[in-house]
Structure 1
Amino acid sequence: MSIELTVVMPCLNEAETLAICIKKAQSFFEIHGVEGEIIIADNGSTDGAIQIAEQLNAKVVHVTEKGYGSALKGGIEAAKGTYIIMADADDSYDFAALLPFLTQLRAGYDLVVGNRFKGGIKKGAMPFLHKYLGNPVLSFIGKLFYGIKIGDFHCGLRGFSKEAFLKMNLKTSGMEFASEMIVKSKLKNLKITEVPTVLYPDGRTRKPHLNTWQDGWRHLRFLSLYSPNWLFLYPATFLIIMGLISSTLLIINPIQIDNIILDIHTLLYTSSFVLIGFQFLVFYCLTKIYAVENDLLPKSNRYDTLFKYINLERGLVLGVLILIVGCGLSYHGLYLWKRTDFGNLNPTSTLRIVIPAVFTILLGIQVILFSLFFSILGLKKNS
């Protein structure tokens, strides 16, 4: 008979709990009449875990590349089941209670994620910082950035079809593998759902492999880098709009709020906002191109629009026009200085011309340079 379900457990010195996890999974197969297999993705165990797995007739796959994600990928790639359920081999998840996952997979969902906050977290099963800060914050960011209706982004118990896994084309090798799986499923328009899951204290006496701050940062970094809109585009839009509006008002007249007067010194900062915003916009475009061309993000209509409306000719024309404005303002400032026989000037009135002049010259040059570099990237796309 063909194998319907493969249970994959990453393993690095899990001799204390591996046997009970394997026996629970085997019990699930027997009780529910599931044709299944168990794969232990070993990442270099030296405590006898391999021998335990072999004695219990589990298939051992040796993965030499270190990391949680690497171990799981090695085990999943070797799986023969139509569906795959993965979880840690530390007895923190009940492998005898996999039916809700398998039911949803049979119903047509591509990815089924456990939700520990709905299912219950037993006393001592999750550190305080993970329960009340790390997981809620990272899950909120994931939902905000990607619009994924999953309440527990980092639950280690999850199921998916082998076909869906191949579509995800996962790249990461560390703990952020869990976040990448959910994000890629959303970006690939796969069907995602969640089921309540109970988290138990793990049965190990040693410390877990998870590093709270380092692995938390890796998850946050991944979520940010895979969302160039939130990382670059939205800040760029905010800075450019705020900078242009406030700079225009300050060029016309100083702004007084109660006893506070905003004048040319503030104008220096507001004009800088526009330049910084433009830098964010440049990085958005470059990040988008890199991610799409390296198959980290799917190609979208917005991506094609980048090359349709942003090209060398338009960029050069816009950059030169901005540069001309800057040169014109500089000439006007020089003319005012000449009228005083190149003597002392009133800084308040003069800098209202000089600051926009310097700003437009810098912006014009940046637009020209960006257009040249962007056109080089476009050569690869059109080749």
Structure 2
Amino acid sequence: MEVELSIVMPCLNEAETLEICIQKASKFLQINNILGEIIVADNGSTDGSQKIALTNNAVVINVAQKGYGNALKAGFNAAKGKYLIMGDADDSYDFSNLNPFLKKLREGNDLVIGNRFKGGIEKGAMPFLHKYLGNPVLSFLGKLFFKIKINDFHCGLRGVSKEAYQKINVKTTGMEFASEMIVNASLQNLKIIEVPTTLKKDGRTRKPHLKTWSDGWRHLRFLLLFSPNWLFLIPGLLMMILGSLLSLILLFNPIQIGTIIFDIHTLLFSSSLAIVGFQFVMFYGLTKVFGITQNLLPKSKRYDTVFKYIQLEKGLIIGFLLTLTGLLLSVYGFYVWQNHNFKALQVRETMRIVIPAVSLIVIGIQVVLFSFFFSILDLKNEKN
């Protein structure tokens, strides 16, 4: 008979709580008459956790590579169940009440996430910073970046169908596994839903493996790297628009607000802002192509429409014209200097020639380099 449910517990020195977790999970399977298995993905325990798991009839998978993500991936890969439910082996999650997860999986949902804020958090179960800063902020960013209606991105109790897990193709090895699981599922347009679940204080006497700042940064870094729109495109466009508009105004006249005058020095900074913004946008394009060609990001509907207009030849022509315009302005600036017998010039006048000239040369050269690099990255698509 086909195993319906595999309950996977990552484990690293959980001798104090592992047995009670396995017993609760076993009782759940028995009471609900579910054909299932309990898998303990051991990440190198030295406190006898493996023996406890075997004594309680759990399947032990020894995982040599360290990391929360590595342990879960090994457990999932070894699982025989149609559905997979993961949960920490510290007795903070209730393995005797997995029906809400299994029910939603049976209904056809691909990924079911627990929501501890809706189900209830026991006093002292979640550190203050995690409860009021880390989880809310990272969950908000996840929803904003990827348009996912999940309010607890980091709940460790969740279920996924085996078929969906294979599509998700998680690659991270540490705590950010939790974020990647949801993000990849969203990028693959899988059905994601959350159910209320409880969190109680874990039963261990030692400190938890989770490190507040370093693991929080790993989650944030992952969200940013997998969202080039928010990391590069949106900030870049804002900087380009603001820098370009301010530069255009200052090219003709200074701006005076009260007793404060914004002149050529501000022009220099605004032009630099526009250049930096342009670089951000270029990096967005390169990141998008690289992510898609390496199967890290899915190809969006707009990808072919937008990027079919970006070709090496067009880029070289645009880059050449921008550079040429900058050089002509430079020649004009040199001519103005010559007319003054190469002596001291009116800085306010000449800098309004030199700054746009240098800016156009820099941007033109960047367009040329981007076009070559873009074409190299896109060679894989052309071969296909």
- Normalising by the smaller structure, the TM-score range is over 0.9
* Unpaired stretches in structure 1, ≥5 consecutive residues: none
2:292 aligns with 292
Task: State the percentage of identical aligned residues.
Answer: 65
Q: After superposition, what is the alpha-carbon deviation per residue over 1:29-71, rounded to whole angstroms, capped at 9, x for unaligned?
A: 1111111110001111111111111111111111111100000
Note the C-alpha offset of 1:378.
Answer: 2.4
2:125 aligns with 125
Note the C-alpha offset of 1:290.
Answer: 1.9
2:322 is aligned with 1:322:
yes
1:80 aligns with 80
Q: Is the 8 A contact 2:70 2:173 kept in 1?
A: yes
2:28 aligns with 28
Q: What SS is found at the alignment partner of 2:44?
A: coil
Q: After superposition, what is the alpha-carbon deviation per residue over 1:175-229, rounded to whole angstroms, capped at 9, x for unaligned?
A: 0000000000000000000011110000001111111111000000000000000
Separation of aligned partners in 1, 2:135 and 2:111: 19
Note the C-alpha offset of 1:306.
Answer: 5.1
Separation of aligned partners in 1, 2:294 and 2:26: 40
Note the C-alpha offset of 1:253.
Answer: 0.7
2:336 aligns with 336
Separation of aligned partners in 2, 1:130 and 1:303: 37
Under a length normalisation based on structure 1, what TM-score does the superposition of the two structures give? 0.98
2:64 is aligned with 1:67:
no
1:174 aligns with 174
| Number of residue pairs matched by the alignment | 383
Separation of aligned partners in 1, 2:380 and 2:29: 51
Q: Is the 8 A contact 2:289 2:378 kept in 1?
A: no
Separation of aligned partners in 2, 1:358 and 1:79: 61
Under a length normalisation based on structure 2, what TM-score does the superposition of the two structures give? 0.98
Q: What SS is found at the alignment partner of 1:245?
A: helix
- Alignment map for 1:161-200 (pairs within 5 Å): 161-200=161-200
1:221 aligns with 221
Q: What SS is found at the alignment partner of 1:6?
A: strand
2:247 aligns with 247
Separation of aligned partners in 1, 2:48 and 2:354: 74
Separation of aligned partners in 2, 1:379 and 1:71: 36
Q: After superposition, what is the alpha-carbon deviation per residue over 1:92-148, rounded to whole angstroms, capped at 9, x for unaligned?
A: 000001011111111111000000111111011001110111111100110010010
Separation of aligned partners in 2, 1:52 and 1:256: 76
Q: Is the 8 A contact 1:139 1:151 kept in 2?
A: yes
1:15 aligns with 15
1:347 aligns with 347
Letter in 2 for 1:304: D
Separation of aligned partners in 2, 1:214 and 1:348: 49
Note the C-alpha offset of 1:296.
Answer: 1.1
Note the C-alpha offset of 1:247.
Answer: 0.3
Letter in 2 for 1:308: K
2:312 aligns with 312
Separation of aligned partners in 1, 2:170 and 2:354: 51
Q: What SS is found at the alignment partner of 1:309?
A: coil
1:238 aligns with 238
2:283 is aligned with 1:283:
yes
Separation of aligned partners in 2, 1:233 and 1:121: 38
Q: After superposition, what is the alpha-carbon deviation per residue over 1:301-345, rounded to whole angstroms, capped at 9, x for unaligned?
A: 333345411111111110111112111211221222222222221
The two structures, once aligned, show a CA RMSD in angstroms of 1.0
Note the C-alpha offset of 1:375.
Answer: 1.8
Q: Is the 8 A contact 1:307 1:378 kept in 2?
A: no
